[in-house]
Amino acid sequence: MKRGKTAFFLPARSGSERVRNKNTRPFAGIPGGLMQNKMQQLVRSGNIDEIILSTNDGKCIEIASEFTYDSRVRIIRRPESLCLSSTNLQDLIAYVPTVTDADYIVWGHVTTPLAGAEEYDEGISVFFDKLDEGYDSLIGVRELRNYLLDKTGKVVNNTTPLPWPRTQDLEPLYLINHTMFIASRSTYENDRNRIGRRPYLHQMDEIRSFDIDWEDDFAIAEALFMKR
């Protein structure tokens, strides 16, 4: 059950270094690319009360402006000092509560094109349910159960006496998938963090949580998106 106003914070700066123009170049037949796709997903959400695009990219603003028919959508031009490749993430985190009065904040990215309204609404519902269990935040993750090595070749997640246990007997580790970070406004203001001190690890499947970080990822995401 919802307990207060929930905002979705969507950061998108210009000048991607690993994947050129990744936010706005055509994606899977969508002319406005990942930005258009994400806005289409967000306006379908039933659990998000405010959608904040934070950007310095004129093309992102142009694409997102097509969705301002939804009164929840706000486009805020972010200061250039917070759009540099060298910008400290903590400074951007501290900036977020200055642009919204929401009680709870969901931080997500356009680079997870297969995570849509259903995934966000589920994550928000789970977050509010988990507050009653003592958790104070939620992170979208994917479980890893495979042989993970340190630089010496040691399997770091093997807690058994066997050198090669079954993969299902390995200690699970979790990969942050960048679909969503959910926390209260007070966590942002007091801890300068987008997760709290006892986060709930919200496990998601590999396809829905696929994240674009490199050029190859963009091509894979397009194929997955069109195949779904």
β-pair partners for 77: 55
Alpha helices per DSSP H over 20-151: 33-42, 58-65, 89-95, 117-131
Residue type at position 65: S
Q: What is the share, in percent, of the chain residues with pLDDT greater than 70?
A: 99
Domains located in the chain, CATH noted: 6-138+178-227 (3.90.550.10)
| Strand ranges across the sheet with 73-77 | 73-77, 50-55, 6-12, 104-107, 173-184, 137-144, 199-203
Q: Give the per-residue pLDDT at 1.
A: 62
DSSP states along 53-72: EEE--HHHHHHHHTTTTSTT
Classify strands 173-184 and 104-107 as parallel, antiparallel or unpaired: antiparallel
Classify strands 104-107 and 6-12 as parallel, antiparallel or unpaired: parallel
Write the pLDDT tens digit of every residue in 119-175.
Answer: 999 999 999 999 999 999 999 999 999 999 999 999 999 999 999 999 999 999 999
**Cα(28)–Cα(42) distance, integer angstroms:** 18
The overall pTM is greater than 0.75:
yes
**Cα(109)–Cα(9) distance, integer angstroms:** 8
**Cα(84)–Cα(113) distance, integer angstroms:** 24
Kindly state the average pLDDT of the residues 56-81.
Answer: 96
Write the pLDDT tens digit of every residue in 177-194.
Answer: 999 999 999 999 999 999
Question: Is 171 within 8 Å of 157 (Cβ atoms)?
Answer: yes
β-pair partners for 104: 6, 184
Joined together, the tokens standing for residue 22 give 């990744």
